[in-house]
Amino acid sequence: MAPSFSWWSNKDTHRGTPVVVKMENPNWSMVELEGPSEEDFLIAESPGRVRGKNAKQFTWVLLLKAHRAAGCLTSLGSAMLGLASAIRRRVASGRTDTDTDVEPIGRGRAVENPAVRSRFYFCIKMFLWLSLILLGFEVAAYFKGWHFGSPHLQLEYLWASPMGVKGVFDWVYSKWVLIRVEYLAPPLQFLTSACIVLFMIQSLDRLILCLGCFWIRFKKIKPVPKEGAFDPESGETGYFPMVLVQIPMCNEKEVYQQSIAAVCNLDWPKSKLLIQILDDSDDPTTQFLIKEDVHKWQQEGANILYRHRVIRDGYKAGNLKSAMNCSYVKDYEFVAIFDADFQPTPDFLKRTVPHFKDNDDLGLVQARWSFVNKDENLLTRLQNINLSFHFEVEQQVNSVFINFFGFNGTAGVWRIKALEEAGGWLERTTVEDMDIAVRAHLHGWKFIFLNDVECQCELPESYEAYRKQQHRWHSGPMQLFRLCLPDIIKSKISIGKKFNLIFLFFLLRKLILPFYSFTLFCIILPMTMFIPEAELPAWVLGSAYEWVVTKKSGRSSEGDLASLVEKEPKHQRGVSVPDLVEMKEEIRQQEQRASRKKKHNRIYTKELALAFLLLTASARSLLSAQGIHFYFLLFQGISFLLVGLDLIGEQVE
């Protein structure tokens, strides 16, 4: 037992608080520590004895504080060593984003053009080298007495005759300053002013959305479904129409079991529910495993079908379009769509479908996403914050006030009549979910977003998967806008809804925001450091906008797994033993081959070059004594540095 030491003054006279220190071998830690009161340091009836005990207490307090400080320094040192080790591994491996990896065949459709990527990287590199040369030039000028305290320069003395210039360097630098003032600063200032206007428009849009969200919370506005009649099959009172459930998937071996189990446990009358597993996998092993799982649930009584396309055109849109062409679909009134990594709760249909009752112009009920891995690493935490704003503010406000928002592609229930009137699924863009939502809105259908109904899924845990997902999400809206613009103009919806679609939904939020935010904070701001005559106001820096089949790991919450285990009875698989043994051997061999090609972290060259560019610009801002610009550029550069070294996502040993 570890010894403990305590000091108390005379119990009759001492009114201070005790200090108890527990000594543990080999380390010692504080069990209880309360600072001594002021009276502990006053001289009482026995000055010498009290002073001696207070001195001992004070000594131990100092020792404890020193121990705590040493622990903090040790933790900080360990973190820095771990960071340095990770950086060393990245550099030693030599893997970069220019290395070609084999992409999953199927829904990995919006692959970045290598030519465009190389040109963009070349431009960033040229900009970086130019900034380094200019930084060296500016540092040399600074030590020669060219001190500029603000972007507004007093240039009268620069117009003096060449004889007034002290030397060659001063003459060259004075000419450079004049070139900046007369030729470079005006167009840069124009771009800066244009971006500031866009920044103010974006800020106003965000302010209106936040005020709308506040009003919804203040008034407790919430969509309320109507009560239904008694259903004899389920023995409950409710609204139980015919519902079709679709799960499109492609080579997603890690997550198919969770999604199939979740939809097979939906609480809905079996005679009024049909589940379609739309498998576009080209891997025979994955096809067999999914088909085997479907057969298992069929034996358990689930009304579930397996579909595999021979001609796999159109990716997800083509898959859904093919499934909707089945003859039995005409018997169903609604269709619920879930991606392969989504796990709806058993009451999902009971909380979404009743909103369609006596609401004939309602075309879509969209549920909110929740994430089982939101606390996995820094990247997932940042994604959770960004998507939470998208759901709770953007989609909820647009749902309440204009009954329109972009379909999220999953965790939603469509009225089949709305899909048919809108023209069905089309393969013309990479954002088929946004496409069908816009076309349905143009036909007068309304949407509802349920912020309190959640469907669990996964966030990309690695930066590589996140980047591919974002590229797919952002590569199609402008193409869709070009295709839909004539239909929007000719549609019969109100002028206000046309304005919302053209200027807010497409131009502002899908085109202007991604473009201007990157241009303003990663291009124009560094340029204003080297051309300080073009001024960017400090108040703009108070706000900055965060700028293939996504790889899943098959995560699920412990509560959901436990509930599925409790509900899922034992089953017999209807497969012959020789085939099953042969397939298991093939799976084992594939896993061995996959183990030789493990995941790895890599260096992202564009992000790394941009990081050094921002850090160079932050160093230049010090020469002009622009404090807030320096701190913004510094932390922005560090952020890009962490991303470029792949230190914010999943770390692979």
CATH code of the domain made up of 243-493: 3.90.550.10
Tokens 């630098």, located at residue:
173
* Number of Cβ within a 10 Å radius of residue 104: 17
| Arithmetic mean of pLDDT, 275-291 | 92
User: What amino acid occupies position 421?
Assistant: E
For the record, the structure tokens of 313 come out as 């055109």
- Average the pLDDT over 394-414 and give the result: 94
Task: Return the higher-pLDDT residue of 389 and 532.
Answer: 389
16-25, 117-126, 324-333, 410-419: least confidently modelled range:
16-25
Asked whether residue 266 carries a pLDDT value surpassing 50, the answer given is yes
pLDDT of 572 above 60: no
Q: What is the pLDDT of residue 324?
A: 95
Interacting residues of 462 by C-beta distance below 8 A, sequence separation 6+: 379, 551, 599, 601, 646, 649, 650
Q: In terms of Cα–Cα distance, which of 401, 369, 399, 402 is closest to 386?
A: 369
Is pLDDT at 537 greater than 80 in this prediction?
no
Point out the least confidently predicted range of 59-68, 131-140, 348-357. Answer: 59-68
Using a 10 angstrom Cβ sphere, with 0-12 exposed, 13-18 middle and 19 or more buried, the burial of residue 596 is: exposed
For residues 435 and 424, give the distance between their C-alpha atoms in angstroms, rounded to a whole number: 10
Helix intervals (H) in 94-107: none
- Cα distances (angstroms) measured from residue 74 to each of 23, 67, 71, 77, 180: 20, 10, 5, 5, 49
Q: What is the DSSP string of 7-58?
A: E---TTT--S--EEEEE-SS-EEEEEE-PPPGGGGS--SSHHHHHHHHHHHH
Residue 7: which pLDDT band, with cuts at 50, 70 and 90? very low
3-class DSSP state for residue 548? coil
Q: Is the pLDDT of residue 432 over 60?
A: yes
Angle 283-287-288 (CA atoms, 0-180°, nearest 5)?
120
Query: Can you list the pairs that 559-566 forms with residues at least 24 positions away whose Cβ atoms lie under 8 Å?
Result: 560/262, 560/343, 560/456, 564/261, 564/262, 564/265
Burial class (CB in 10 A: 0-12, 13-18, 19+), 639: middle
Omega of the bond leading into 47 within 30 degrees of 0 (cis): no
pLDDT classification of 244: cutoffs 50, 70, 90: very high
CB of 394 closer than 8 Å to CB of 405: yes
User: Does residue 371 or residue 590 have the better pLDDT?
Assistant: 371
- Among 98-102, 221-225, 356-360, 444-448, where is mean pLDDT lowest? 98-102
Residue 98 has pLDDT above 70, yes or no: no
**Do residues 141 and 173 touch, judged by C-beta distance below 8 A?**
yes
CA distance 420 to 443: 11
Q: What tokens were used for 379?
A: 């990247």
Comparing CA positions, the residue from 106, 34, 508 lying closest to residue 287 is: 106
534 pLDDT band, cuts 50/70/90, is confident
Strands (E), 266-323: 273-279, 304-308
- What mean pLDDT, rounded, does the chain reach? 79
Amino acid, single-letter form, for residue 14: H
Looking at residue 40, its pLDDT comes to 46
Q: Which of 73-87, 105-119, 351-365, 596-610 has the lowest mean pLDDT?
A: 105-119
Residue-wise over 275-308: b if at least 16 C-beta within 10 A, else e?
Answer: bbbbbbbeeeebbbbbbbbbbbbbeeebbbebbe
Q: Where are the domains of the chain?
A: 243-493
List helix spans (H) across 45-159: 47-93, 114-143
Number of residues written out for the chain: 653
**Which of 130-139, 594-603, 640-649 is the least confident region?**
594-603
Nearest to 412 by CA among 452, 369, 459: 369
Q: What burial class does residue 32 get, using C-beta atoms within 10 Å of its C-beta: 0-12 exposed, 13-18 middle, 19+ buried?
A: exposed
Q: Which residue has the higher pLDDT, 106 or 465?
A: 465
pLDDT higher than 60, residue 283: yes
Q: DSSP character for 403?
A: S
pLDDT of residue 558: 44
DSSP character for 96? B
- Nearest-10 Cα torsion for 281, 286, 288, 293: -100
102: pLDDT strictly greater than 50: no
pLDDT bucket at 641, cuts 50 / 70 / 90: confident
Pairing relationship of beta strands 334-337 and 412-415 according to DSSP bridges: antiparallel
Is the per-residue pLDDT at 624 higher than 70?
yes
Give pTM, 2 decimals: 0.74
Segment among 308-312, 555-559, 583-587, 614-618 with least mean pLDDT = 555-559
Please name every residue paired with 231 in a beta bridge, in sequence order, or none if there are none: 236
What pLDDT sits at residue 583?
Answer: 54
Reply yes or no on whether the pLDDT at 382 is more than 80: yes
24-28, 35-39, 440-444, 500-504: segment of lowest average pLDDT: 24-28
Reported as a single tens digit per residue, the pLDDT across 303-313 is 999 999 988 88
Cβ 251 vs Cβ 75: under 8 Å:
no
Residue 51 has pLDDT above 60, yes or no: no
**Long-range own/partner contacts, residues 355-358 (CB < 8 A, 24 or more apart):** 355/223, 355/225, 355/448, 355/450, 356/239, 356/241, 356/413, 356/415, 357/225, 357/226, 357/228, 357/239, 358/226
Helices 605-623 and 114-143: crossing angle in degrees, nearest 10, is 20
> Which pLDDT does position 229 carry in this prediction?
65
pLDDT in tens, 480-504: 999 999 999 999 999 999 999 999 9
| DSSP secondary structure letters along 440-504 | HHHTT-EEEEEEEEEEEE----SHHHHHHHHHHHHSSHHHHHHHHHHHHHHS-S-HHHHHIIIII
Residue 195 has which token pair? 């971006």
In eight-state DSSP terms, residue 250 is: S
CA-CA distances (angstroms) from residue 225 to 242, 345, 351? 17, 18, 8
Looking at the annotation, which residues are catalytic? 280, 433
Query: Residue 359 and residue 3: Cα distance in Å, rounded?
Result: 74
CB 459 within 8 A of CB 380: yes
Handedness of CA 415, 418, 424, 425 (dihedral sign): negative
Q: Where is average pLDDT lowest: 197-206, 407-416, 511-520, 610-619?
A: 511-520
Looking at the chain, the whole-number percentage of residues with pLDDT higher than 90 is 37
With H, G, I as helix, E, B as strand and everything else as coil, classify residue 108: coil
Mean local confidence (pLDDT), 285-307: 94
- The side-by-side arrangement of strands in the sheet containing 19-23 is 4-7, 19-23, 28-33
Indicate whether 221 pLDDT > 90.
Answer: yes
